[in-house]
Amino acid sequence: MFKPVLRGLAVASLFPAIAQAQPVPQAPEVVVTADRIAVPSERVSASVTVITAEQMERRQQRDIVEALRDVPGLTVVRAGHTGAQTSVFVRGSNSNHVLVLIDGQRANDPSQPAGAFDFAHLVTDGIERIEVLRGPASTLYGSDALAGVINIVTKKGKGTPATTLRGEVGSRNTFRESVNTQGSHDKLNFNLTAARLDTDNGTATPNRRRAGRGAEKDPYRNTTLNGRLGVDPNEDVSLSWFFRTVAASGENDSSAEDPNSYIETRQSNNRLQGDWLSFDGAWKQTLAASQIEIGRRGFNGPDQFSTSYTNSKNHGRRRKLEWTHEIDPTDGLRLATGLEGERESFVNRSSSNFGNADNEAGNSTLGAYVSGHMEWAERWFLTLGVRREDNERFGQHSTHNASLAYLVPGTDTKLKALYGTGFKAPALYQLFGVSGNFRGNPDLLPEESESREIGFEQKAFERRLTFGASYFETDFKNLIASVNNTNRNVTRAEAFGVESFASAKATERLTLRLDYSFVETEDKSNGQLQVRRPLHRAAVSGEWEMDDDWLFGAGAIYNGKRADSDADTFGRVYSGGYTVMFATARYRVTPDFDLYGRVENALDRRYEEPSGTQQPGRGVLLGARAKF
């Protein structure tokens, strides 16, 4: 089946023979996540997508969910409207196999049943860039990075202090407001943001599940405060404090049109970091201490449809110390190494008609890694790394990776290959959770993976056209599944597929982008496809700057056929594909004042994602931005 694809990759890699135009000099894009050191993107051998603040602003993407939807190899699943639980699947892996970093801080939720990160409440205000690394990254980042890393970096204040105000109003009584102030003075720098979202949403329950009940709104509220404060005593030393606080609340229909089911979420991230350079910048040390706390409270009271009730409280905490080093011992060699210690804990308490639950547990991990990035003749780029972790619950575990990139002389072609292993430590709830008849299993082993990847990237026509493709395959073992009211390491799976992209600057004012992914993940125990991961995904978008003041954009995202679990019967179902379109426009009244608008789901496409939750119909948003 994939022989034609591999032949296509081989043929495409020969394209340099017809793409001999001299490149236009450009400032190189720098990637940090792939090697834990800053490396020009053309010298990175891993698959990384960088989303900048400018790109998100031009496309009017106000939350991380929208920014990630068209990244190749990613599938974003939101269980309903804005604010509903949102998962991201990377290259067919499970949603808890991707590590989320916010300003270097591991943000995955220790109180979630599988330890995954919920993307529902993360807005883009104050964010400088998002780097999406696809492929095994446990060697550099440890557990949770089995399939990839999503690294979110906030802005560092610089220049003359300035304040930006934003206000938006839209369909379903949606209101967004934000204020950002940033800048620097002498040795101090600051970037502070406050954002608020209020929306009534619509109903997340499709007609087929209402059983005669009337449709009701599912309102959602989100208040986010985030900031970065720093002081640079001299050119070799910098001290920083990163913080983010989120308070969110909304209706949470635990069954079809439940009129009094609510959930409140509180998130708090704090990180203190010191960086200092020595030996004329050849050695950079970073010492950091961080803490993340995530709390959720849920309530579902009796109503006309049910006499039952539930009341739950979940709280997760992670504390971490890191001492990392970036060392340039000689030309052509850069090292990244570090020591990390982490303590995570969770508390889960609930009461209902069916009984009570009271869970509390913790776990500690020590880890060390070393990775080397080597260069020869400005053509060959090799990265080798190894990591060793000691977990108090399952003992020691090692991972390693090797990746290679080669720049073909005179052709603007990059060839790349990668091999790596990954692991995911069992979540605390999987080990010690108690709910009804369910009991966790403290003897669980970590989930493991082995991945391979080959690909190429090509620039042509004076770098106006960039395209590329990668073939990857991953073998998973010891995957955790629920068996007889507990968890077991019983599942093996295989994922393979192709990611491809093409980006073109058709004219000075028109840019186009196309991404396509084929990903198939098979459960080896039964031969079935893993749920909620479409075989085919495609995204197309374009931007046209009509003149210096007007900017227009449009795009579409296609998700193909996928397996799912029926929301009522829990039996296997197959959902058909769907296409969602959007359009944007912006008018720059002055250099510091914009008016803009966005149409979401422009064709008013009705679809369920996942099964049993109806996605929003067409929505219109109008806004203004002013800078002082």
Task: Select from 87, 209, 70, 32 the least CA-distant residue to 553.
Answer: 70
Using CB atoms within 10 Å of the CB of residue 78, give its burial: 0 to 12 exposed, 13 to 18 middle, 19+ buried: buried
Q: Using CA atoms, how far apart are residues 77 and 463, in angstroms rounded to an integer?
A: 34
Q: Average the pLDDT over 131-140 and give the result.
A: 96
Are 516 and 502 in contact by the 8 Å Cβ rule? The answer is: no
Residue 174: the pLDDT is 96
- In this predicted structure, the answer to whether residue 24 has a pLDDT above a threshold of 60 is no
- In this predicted structure, the answer to whether residue 179 has a pLDDT above a threshold of 70 is yes
Tokens 């020595």 locate to 278
The CATH number of residue 63's host domain is 2.40.170.20
Instruction: Give 259's pLDDT tier (boundaries 50, 70, 90).
Output: confident
Q: Average the pLDDT over 378-385 and give the result.
A: 96
Beta-bridge mates of residue 542: 512, 554
| φ/ψ (deg, to 5) at 284 | -115, 125
Helix (H) or strand (E) segment spanning residue 327? strand 310-330
Residue 257: the pLDDT is 74
- In this predicted structure, the answer to whether residue 4 has a pLDDT above a threshold of 50 is no
Q: Average the pLDDT over 10-35 and give the result.
A: 55
Q: Can you give the residue range of the structural domain that contains 202?
A: 3-627
Q: Using CA atoms, how far apart are residues 623 and 628, in angstroms rounded to an integer?
A: 17
Q: Using CA atoms, how far apart are residues 613 and 558, in angstroms rounded to an integer?
A: 18
| Number of domains forming the structure of the chain | 1
Q: Is the preceding peptide bond at 40 cis, omega within 30 degrees of 0?
A: no
How is residue 136 written in tokens? 């095994």
Instruction: Give 571's pLDDT tier (boundaries 50, 70, 90).
Output: confident
| φ/ψ (deg, to 5) at 536 | -120, 135
Instruction: Give 434's pLDDT tier (boundaries 50, 70, 90).
Output: confident
